[in-house]
Amino acid sequence: MAATPRGTSPVPPDARPRLTVLSGPSGVGKSTVVAHMRKEHPEVWLSVSATTRKPRPGEQHGVHYFFVGDEEMDKLIANGELLEWAEFAGNRYGTPRTAVLERLEAGEPVLLEIDLQGARQVRESMPEARLVFLAPPSWEELVRRLTGRGTEPPEVIERRLAAARVELAAEPEFDQTLVNTSVEDVARELLALTNVV
């Protein structure tokens, strides 16, 4: 099945929004889709977040995240260095403000991959942003993907699934929904939404 855009965007088609926010429940495939898209279109700039979460095998500092301690995260927040931040399943995550603003001022499209709480903050502070929700084909498939990834112990999976129920209920807040059935199809849809091509 092809990626299915649902809903209508309040952003007029000629407004060419340059800030795209991708959200969706943990395990739905956000990182997979974004990596696939950027393999062919490295010009799509993806913000690298700061997080207090420990790196998963293969994750690199400065590439996948800036892995920081609690004190450093406290400082980033206190100094206003984050565009948005949220606590998710026991860790804190935030978007470094300056890098994003520099790209936007240069007229370059920017992609953020953040959770629902972060997406809501961006909607408040930058209402021109386009909010895209990545949905699973079914709840069962989401559980399968999250469990199958094998990167979290059972109690963390439980926390992430509890968050997923809340995130799925918030889908109508987004401008657009893409259903992640095929990584290739969703990556193509997402590329079109970022207005790079």
Positions in the binding site for ligand 5GP (CB under 6 A): 26, 30, 49, 53, 84-86, 88, 93-95, 113-115, 117-118
Out of 19, 21, 22, 28, the only residue in the binding site for ligand ADP (CB under 6 A) is 28
Separation between Cα atoms, residue 148 and residue 156, nearest integer Å: 13
Q: Is-contact 84 95, C-beta < 8 A?
A: yes
Residues touching ligand ADP: how many (CB under 6 A)? 15
**Which of 182, 188, 172 has its CA nearest to residue 116?**
172
4 binds ligand ADP (CB under 6 A): no
x/- letters, 141..160, toward ligand ADP (CB under 6 A): ----x--xx-----------
Residue 183 interface partner, choices ligand 5GP, ligand ADP, none, CB cut-off 5-8 Å depending on type: ligand ADP
Separation between Cα atoms, residue 121 and residue 127, nearest integer Å: 10
**Which of 144, 151, 138, 83 has its CA nearest to residue 114?**
83
Out of 20, 22, 23, 27, the only residue in the binding site for ligand ADP (CB under 6 A) is 27
Classify residue 90 by its DSSP letter: T
- Going by the annotation, the residues of the binding site are 24-31
Residue 149 interface partner, choices ligand ADP, ligand 5GP, none, CB cut-off 5-8 Å depending on type: ligand ADP
36 binds ligand ADP (CB under 6 A): no
Can you tell me whether residue 21 is helix, strand or coil? strand
Measured from the CB atom, the residue of 26 and 52 that comes closer to ligand ADP is 26
Contacts of 20 by beta carbon, 8 Å cutoff, 6+ apart: 109, 110, 111, 112, 129, 130, 132, 190, 193, 194, 195
- Going by the annotation, the residues of the binding site for ATP are 24-31
Residue 180 interface partner, choices ligand 5GP, ligand ADP, none, CB cut-off 5-8 Å depending on type: ligand ADP
26 binds ligand ADP (CB under 6 A): yes
Q: How far is the CB of 84 from ligand 5GP (least distance, A)?
A: 6
31 binds ligand ADP (CB under 6 A): yes
Contacts of 186 by beta carbon, 8 Å cutoff, 6+ apart: 3, 29, 33, 134, 178, 179, 180
**Which of 101, 118, 93 has its CA nearest to residue 174?**
118
Separation between Cα atoms, residue 98 and residue 96, nearest integer Å: 6
- Catalog residues that contact ligand ADP under the rule CB under 6 A: 24, 26-32, 145, 148-149, 180-183
